[in-house]
Structure 1
Amino acid sequence: MASPQSERLAIAPSPTTPGSRVLRTPLSDEAIWKRLRDAGFDEESIKRRDKAALIAYIAKLEAEIYDHQHHMGLLILERKEWVSKHEQIKASAESAELIYKRDQAAHSSALAEARKREDNLKKALGIE
């Protein structure tokens, strides 16, 4: 015995796949619009509501895009600032390394000069 719900819908099972069954509708577009008109909706009011909803959704998306662009701009500025600081620190480190090597070479040279004088003094004292 068929249930009252199945009699009312009158949908017969079809040998199609479940995915294709979802795409089918037992009612035609005319029947759907007739039901909507009977319920007090007209096509123009539904289109206006859809249009208003789409306009609101587009405005929301535009606001999100604007926010993302703003934040991206801030990130780009921050990145430029960090790159600039990195370049300054890198140049400072290279300069400090050059000064260190120059001082180290001067120290080595002075040490070699002092050893040479020490050897010369030892020779001078040893000769006399």
Structure 2
Amino acid sequence: MSTGQVATTTLWRPTGPAELELVRELGWRAWPPRLPQQPIFYPVLNEDYAVRIARDWNVKHDGAGYVTRFEVDTEFLARYPVQQAGGETILELWVPAEELAEFNAHIVGTIEVVHEFR
């Protein structure tokens, strides 16, 4: 029996202040289009990995780093194989830039900031 609820997967995204401001402008419901030098949008599958990127990379390059958390329709995510970008816990999804609008349409709820580093 269906309850009408969509099964979701929790994803995290380390981000800098400029991208976070664009997310805010989009009502915390979507990620902004990629820049020409950003062919892939890559959310990550665990919070610890997102924290490391936000703290160790975004702070150094942008002066601040944030970790966001959001839910995406699990069935939709099945089209993106998990990519291991390093060690066992360095797991990402690689969403081609041209598919980001469709990806955004499958976000359930809002994008929330769960950590901030300066």
Q: Identify which of structures 1 and 2 has the higher relative contact order when contacts are C-alpha pairs closer than 8 Å and 6+ apart.
A: 2
Larger strand fraction of residues: 2
The structure whose Rg is larger is 1
TM-score (norm 1): 0.16
Larger helix fraction of residues: 1
